[in-house]
Amino acid sequence: MEQNRTISADVCAAERDGAAEYEAVIGLEVHVELKTGRKIFCSCRPKFGDEPNTAVCPVCLGMPGALPVLSDEAVSLAVRAGLALGCTINRVSWFDRKNYYYPDLPKGYQITQLERPVCVGGAVPIETRAGKREIPLLRIHMEEDAGKLIHRGDETLIDYNRAGVPLIEIVSEPELRTPEEAKAYLNSLRRILSYAGVSDCRMNEGSLRCDVNVSVRPRGSSEYGIKCEIKNVNSVNYVGRALEEEIARQTALLRAGEEVEAQTRRFNEDTGKTEKMRVKEAFIDYRYFTEPNLPAVELTDEWMRDVKDAMPPLPDEAARTLTERFGVKGENAALLTSSVFVTEYFTACAEACGSDAERAAMENLFVGELLEGIDPDAVGAVVPVSPSALAGAAGLFAEGKIVSGNAKKLVRLLAEAEDGTLTREDAVLFAERENLLKLADPDALMPFVRDAVAASPRAVADYGRGKTAALKQILGQVMRATGGRADPILAEKMILGTVEDLNEK
């Protein structure tokens, strides 16, 4: 009896803490578009949103006899990615043909790197509630993108503008364990690569795409379970949700004593569920062979030096700069270096500030009121509030002319009205017009004080009998009547004066 109770208590505990029995193993394959502006083997220059099939030529359309010429810039950016992630760079690498037929692949093969990729090893640093970790990488290889199929009713159209766009594929070891870690990995990767100038990393425009591999195993097991691959998930949040779903599905199967089938799945954004696309065949023969139309990629010492010299400051260095120049510390320094755009915007705001106190107030307003609404990858976007207007709002707070809640409200109003040209003076005008400034002028305050005193005969009498605390009640009324804007010290002094006058009469 006693025995039974113990066991069922354990089972209940395990049920409550679903993570206890099983753990997930996750590996991500991330495709990143290199920011070269042109295709990898021809000089077509596609832009997002172009008319279909306008950025194409005989090479990227796979016309017989057209020969590929490798873009130097694509190689430089791939090497740059490798250096930024601490990879070993293969000084000699080469391209292979992956042969398969699909209508988005005009040549009937994809040029990629299998046997000798440009980079191996390296790691992506992540930070979660559990602390800091390094997620090791298997490899980074260069390849060309395929075209895009557009399904419309029961017909399918093809746009070859993306065919031949330069990509790197970054493959992690299966070392991620939770959806939270997978999301942190993607954000960290995005941050580093956008800083390094390797890619815009805009998931909504397809310049960063992610295949999610996941299996589940009994916790403590050293073997991997059978994995499923969720193809082409296109936002960090979707990666998190797809993983939650898929881990729950696989865990339920294992609990029920069933096996997980190796599948290729997709995430349905409308239902939030993952769906089976096909069973993963044990082995697909792509008939790989070395691409005969391209020489091996040989990186000279000079080339390596040039790539290193051209490397922009990476996020950790940028965070140190924010600390040194503007006193930004700890978590804020990391938040404010989430992308080059955020860092540049914050830097402009800090430069617009006239004192340390103003800068500190600006930092709080920036992190508290603006940061969440900023798309970190909005390269060249209009800022929500111009640096001088934000500095103006911060200045009002630093000088004690506005209470914190109203300073935030002012920033929100400026953000709504922003046309990119508002000045420091405009911020003050806005605050005046919207009645957000502290009432620190005796003439402006007097009517409120008089009304509150007149409405409180009891408190006035109490004060006359020596109960000084009675004044606080009147002050409370003044604060309420002014929407919290009254300067409390001045108001209290004026109440005292008014009440004493009354009691003397």
Residues that bind ligand ADP (CB under 6 A): 25-29, 171-174, 213-215, 224, 227
Instruction: Identify the sign of the CA torsion 250, 130, 174, 85.
Output: positive
Q: How far is the CB of 247 from ligand ADP (least distance, A)?
A: 11
- SS3 (DSSP) at 214: strand
Longest CA pairwise span in the chain (Å):
108
- Find the binding residues for Zn ion in span 51-70 (CB under 5 A): 57, 59-60
Residue 44 contact among Zn ion, ligand ADP, none, beta carbon within 5 to 8 Å by kind: Zn ion
Q: Is residue 111 involved in binding Zn ion (CB under 5 A)? A: no
Q: Are 105 and 197 in contact (CB under 8 A)?
A: no
Q: How far is the CB of 232 from ligand ADP (least distance, A)?
A: 14
What are residue 320's phi and psi, to 5 degrees? -60, -40
How much of the chain is helix, strand and coil, in % rounded to 5? 45, 20, 35
Site size toward Zn ion, by CB under 5 A: 5
Q: Are 260 and 246 in contact (CB under 8 A)?
A: no
CB nearer to ligand ADP: give 263 or 386.
263
Rounded to whole angstroms, the Cα distance separating 274 from 272 reads: 7
Which position's Cβ is nearest ligand ADP? 27
Residue 46 contact among ligand ADP, Zn ion, none, beta carbon within 5 to 8 Å by kind: none
CB nearer to ligand ADP: give 171 or 335.
171
CB nearer to Zn ion: give 20 or 67.
67
One of 28, 34, 44, 84 touching Zn ion (CB under 5 A): 44
- Find the binding residues for Zn ion in span 13-42 (CB under 5 A): 42
Residue 171 contact among Zn ion, ligand ADP, none, beta carbon within 5 to 8 Å by kind: ligand ADP
Q: Are 100 and 286 in contact (CB under 8 A)?
A: yes
What are residue 322's phi and psi, to 5 degrees? -60, -40
Q: Where are the alpha helices (DSSP H) in 256-378?
A: 301-309, 315-326, 330-335, 340-351, 356-365
CB nearer to ligand ADP: give 29 or 180.
29
Residue 393 contact among ligand ADP, Zn ion, none, beta carbon within 5 to 8 Å by kind: none
Q: How far is the CB of 379 from Zn ion (least distance, A)?
A: 24
Q: What tokens does 451 get?
A: 């009304």
CB nearer to ligand ADP: give 236 or 379.
236
Q: List all residues 6 or more positions away from 330 whose beta carbon is below 8 Å from its beta carbon.
A: none
Q: List all residues 6 or more positions away from 18 whose beta carbon is below 8 Å from its beta carbon.
A: 251
CB nearer to ligand ADP: give 210 or 353.
210
- Radius of gyration (Cα) for the chain, nearest Å? 31
CB nearer to ligand ADP: give 211 or 487.
211
Q: Are 69 and 109 in contact (CB under 8 A)?
A: no
Q: What tokens does 101 get?
A: 């037929």
Residue 60 contact among Zn ion, ligand ADP, none, beta carbon within 5 to 8 Å by kind: Zn ion
Residue 214 contact among Zn ion, ligand ADP, none, beta carbon within 5 to 8 Å by kind: ligand ADP
Binding residues for Zn ion, rule: CB under 5 A, are 42, 44, 57, 59-60
